[in-house]
């Protein structure tokens, strides 16, 4: 009887996973058909069978990145209704993202309009989610936080996240895990002062 390879080794998934490894270790310029075929031990024909072109592959990769590094985290956080717990989930999951991948996408966005559009969409979505969660968190503390102020606070928090990713070496960023609790202390103090 012939054994069927596990699904993760078939189809387009190995190509996407290889791209993440290349991004994390070598940056966007390493995401080439040659390096992808070497990393997957598959042929160029297999690549073209699944994607047709490098442009289509990049489109698929950025959609996967948006889902994996943003929408998945939003769903995990919003599985709880309590705003403080939701923020803890967001901070924990964001802190576990691969800094090399996040940084590589940002650098790549400066060179490729398709990646730039995806990066802009991710940034807008993340700031929007943070702003709404800040409004909910402030409300739970008995504080009214106007939309424009929540957006400003979300932008500050997100800028710290992006900066932390840029400062982090490769891989998961312990820096962000350390900064998260301190930011929460500052935020709680700020909102507490608004209540008085």
* Domain of residue 191, CATH code: 1.10.357
pLDDT at 3: 37
pLDDT at 169: 63
pLDDT at 7: 42
pLDDT at 34: 97
Count the domains in the chain: 1
39 located within any domain: no
Among residues 121, 191, 177, 109, which one has the least CA distance to residue 149?
191
pLDDT at 168: 81
Domain hosting residue 167, numbered range: 63-195
Give buried/exposed letters for 168-191 (b at 16+ CB in 10 A, else e).
beeeebebbeebbeebbeebeeeb
29 located within any domain: no
Which residues in the chain land under pLDDT 50? 1-7
């Amino acid at each position: 009887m012939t054994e069927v390879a596990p699904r993760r080794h078939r189809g387009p998934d190995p190509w996407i996973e290889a791209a993440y490894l290349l991004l994390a270790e070598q940056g966007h310029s390493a995401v080439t058909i040659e390096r992808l075929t070497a990393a997957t031990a598959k042929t160029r024909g297999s690549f073209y069978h699944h994607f047709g072109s490098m442009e289509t592959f990049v489109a698929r990769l950025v959609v996967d990145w948006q889902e994996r590094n943003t929408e998945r985290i939003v769903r995990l956080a919003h599985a709880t209704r309590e705003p403080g717990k939701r923020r803890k989930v967001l901070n924990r999951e964001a802190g576990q993202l691969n800094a090399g991948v996040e940084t590589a996408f940002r650098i790549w966005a400066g060179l490729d309009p398709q990646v730039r559009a995806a990066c802009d969409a991710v940034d807008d979505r993340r700031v929007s989610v943070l702003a709404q969660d800040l409004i909910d968190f402030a409300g739970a503390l008995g504080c009214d936080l106007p939309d424009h102020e929540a957006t400003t606070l979300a932008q500050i928090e997100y800028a710290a996240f992006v900066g932390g990713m840029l400062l982090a070496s490769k891989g998961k960023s312990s820096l962000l895990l350390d900064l998260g609790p301190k930011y929460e202390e500052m935020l709680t103090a700020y909102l507490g002062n608004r209540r008085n």
